[in-house]
Amino acid sequence: MFTRMKEFRARYGFTQETLAAKVGVCRETIVFLEKGKYNPSLKLSHKIAKALHAKIEELFIFEEEE
């Protein structure tokens, strides 16, 4: 998974802690998401997209497994 969360977060001046607080997770979750080490649930994806004024598909790019 590739994510553009960091880019969108920067647009709004959000720190990882700020975004984490807005979506109800710990900062470490945001770190793992931004590094592509964790696939978010649909509910969390929606919360993050809403907080960053983006569409889920703009934030998260899932690579097809062959």
pLDDT in tens, 4-62: 999 999 999 999 999 999 999 999 999 999 998 989 999 999 999 999 999 999 999 87
- pLDDT reported for residue 61: 87
* 66: pLDDT strictly greater than 80: no
| Paired residues of 60 in beta bridges | 3
* 2: pLDDT strictly greater than 80: yes
CATH number at residue 14: 1.10.260.40
Task: Please report whether residue 10 resides in a domain.
Answer: yes
Residue 33 lies in domain: 2-61
Task: Please report whether residue 66 resides in a domain.
Answer: no
Instruction: Report the number of distinct structural domains present in the chain.
Output: 1
Which band of pLDDT confidence, cut at 50, 70 and 90, is reported for residue 65? low
> Cα separation of 65 and 62, whole Å?
9
- pLDDT reported for residue 10: 96
